[in-house]
Each structure stands twice: as structure tokens, then as C-alpha cells.
């Protein structure tokens, strides 16, 4: 009867593929294609509320500093294409979902073409005793955080970043990663153990440094 395929609720889960580019998104769950003005207003709102959030999550998920602006744009380009399918209450989740894939791609790209200067090895940073200004420096603290995250396996890191740093709940983490909640919880616990182990190692280094 109708040729229009039934819309799906895909916005609630991580979209598996980027849909083909289109200036006029097809009619979907949340209304027909938006008029340009409304589209722009919604996109502007999305950017305003979530751009920093997405940007930061991408950084912690391992997108190198020089690539993170582009990666964040990529996330919002996907969002713009799917704008009409994103329920307002699920904007953040949708964006995180896309961000996870973008970050995974970036990590893969980086692994294929390692850039030594981008990541600071924890071993390397901790062995040289940080000076006071370095410790008080938030950027420095972030480098240490990133080094700690870098040392985690990707699956643990992702769960950790979402839960500990981005404030996602455990069920949200499970939904985003497409895993059962029990798995998510145990992953979160293991991630936390890894983090704490790395931090206490750092702690010891600092204290040993004092005696030198």
C-alpha cells in the first residue's frame, strides 16, 4: 500500500552506519523533514548544548588534540543528517554513540600511524618527577589522566570515560555500548581497578621523587 518504509527507532541505539548525505532528511519518527529555519535552529541548539561535551569526550576517548575539532564536527555532521530521527531526550546519547565510533576510528588511525609526540607515556611522565608548577597545571594533570586512560584497554577506557568522566549512568553505558548491564557494570569495575592501580603507581613515583 504505502511505498514509504516504516520508520525505525534507530535513534535510540548507536547508528551502525552513516546514512548517505542528504540535504533533506526523509520523513521519520519525529515529524517530517524540517524546514531549513527549524533545522538550523535545532542544529544551533544541539551545537550550543553539546559541542563542548562531545569535544571533551572525544579527547578522553583518545582522539589526538590536533584531530579533535574535526572529529567533533564529524559527529555533528552525522547528527545533522539524522536530525529528524533524534528524539530530544536522546540527543546526548545519540551524540555519544556517534562519538564512540568516531573515536574508535581515530584510535585505529593513530595506531596505524603512531605519532610519538601525541601521547605521553605514563611510565615516561611518572619517572621524571613532576615539578610543582607541572602538578598545579591542569593541562599537566590532564596529560597524566590521558596517559592513564591510554594505558587501559579500549573497552575499559570507553566505559570508564562515559561513566566516570561524562556522567553517564551504568544503564546508559550499557545501552551505548550495546552490552548487557551486568557486563557494563563489571567492565566499569575493572576499569576502575585499572585506573586506581595506575594512579597509585603514579603516587608512589611522586613520593619516591621526594626522596631523591
Partner 1 sequence: MSDLKPLLAGEADELETLLLRAAEDDEPARGALERAAATLGVSATLLAATVASATPAAQAAVAPGAGAVAKPLTWVSLGKWLALGMGVGSVVAGGAHFALAPATDEQPLAFTAPLRTAESATPVAPLKPAVAPSAAEAAAPKDDAHAVNEEESAPSKPAGTPAAAPPSAPAMGAPAPSAVLPGPSSASFAPLEQPQAASTAAPGAEPRAVSASTLGEETHALDSVRAAIAAGHANQALEELHQYAKKWPRGALAMEAALLKVEALLRSGNGAEGQREAEALIARAPRSLYATRARELLRAIAPRAE
Interface with partner 1 in residues 37-76 (CB under 8 A): 40-41, 43-45, 47-53, 55-56, 59-60, 65-70, 72-73, 76
CB of 35 to partner 1, least distance (A): 14
Applying CB under 8 A, the site for partner 1 has a residue count of 77
What x-and-dash track marks residues 146-175 binding partner 1 by CB under 8 A? --x--------------xxxxxxxx-----
- Distances 31 to 38, 39, 82, 93 between C-alpha atoms, Å: 12, 12, 12, 20
Task: Give the binding range for partner 1 (CB under 8 A) out of 1-9, 12-20, 97-105, 121-129.
Answer: 121-129
What x-and-dash track marks residues 183-202 binding partner 1 by CB under 8 A? --x--xx--x--xx--x--x
CB of 1 to partner 1, least distance (A): 36
First and final CA of the chain: distance in angstroms? 81
Classify each residue of 18-53 as buried b or exposed e, where b means 16 or more C-beta atoms within 10 Å of its C-beta: eeeeeeebeebeeeebbeeeebeebeeebbeebeeb
What x-and-dash track marks residues 85-114 binding partner 1 by CB under 8 A? -------x----------------------
CB of 171 to partner 1, least distance (A): 8
Separation between Cα atoms, residue 200 and residue 41, nearest integer Å: 47
Nearest 10 degrees: Cα torsion 124, 125, 130, 136:
180
Separation between Cα atoms, residue 169 and residue 95, nearest integer Å: 15
Tell which positions 126-145 bind partner 1, by CB under 8 A: 126-145
Could you tell me which of 74, 72, 67 has the C-alpha nearest to residue 51?
Answer: 72
Among 3, 113, 116, 212, binds partner 1 (CB under 8 A): 212
Amino acid at each position: 500500500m504505502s511505498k514509504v518504509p516504516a520508520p525505525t527507532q534507530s535513534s535510540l541505539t548507536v547508528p551502525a552506519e552513516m546514512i548517505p548525505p542528504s540535504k533533506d532528511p526523509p520523513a521519520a519518527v519525529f515529524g517530517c523533514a524540517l524546514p531549513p529555519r527549524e533545522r538550523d535552529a535545532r542544529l544551533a541548539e544541539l551545537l550550543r548544548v553539546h559541542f563542548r561535551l562531545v569535544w571533551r569526550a572525544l579527547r578522553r576517548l583518545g582522539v589526538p588534540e590536533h584531530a579533535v575539532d574535526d572529529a567533533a564536527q564529524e559527529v555533528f555532521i552525522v547528527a545533522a543528517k539524522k536530525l529528524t530521527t533524534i528524539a530530544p531526550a536522546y540527543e546526548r546519547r545519540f551524540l555519544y554513540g556517534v562519538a564512540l565510533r568516531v573515536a574508535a576510528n581515530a584510535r585505529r588511525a593513530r595506531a596505524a600511524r603512531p605519532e610519538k609526540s601525541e601521547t605521553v607515556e605514563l611510565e615516561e611522565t611518572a619517572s621524571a618527577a613532576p615539578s610543582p608548577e607541572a602538578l598545579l597545571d591542569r593541562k599537566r594533570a590532564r596529560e597524566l589522566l590521558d596517559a592513564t586512560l591510554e594505558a587501559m584497554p579500549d573497552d575499559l577506557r570507553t566505559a570508564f570515560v562515559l561513566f566516570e568522566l561524562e556522567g553517564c549512568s551504568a544503564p546508559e553505558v550499557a545501552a551505548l555500548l550495546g552490552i548487557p548491564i551486568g557486563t557494563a557494570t563489571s567492565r566499569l569495575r575493572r576499569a576502575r581497578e585499572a585506573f586506581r592501580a595506575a594512579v597509585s603507581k603514579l603516587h608512589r613515583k611522586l613520593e619516591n621523587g621526594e626522596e631523591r
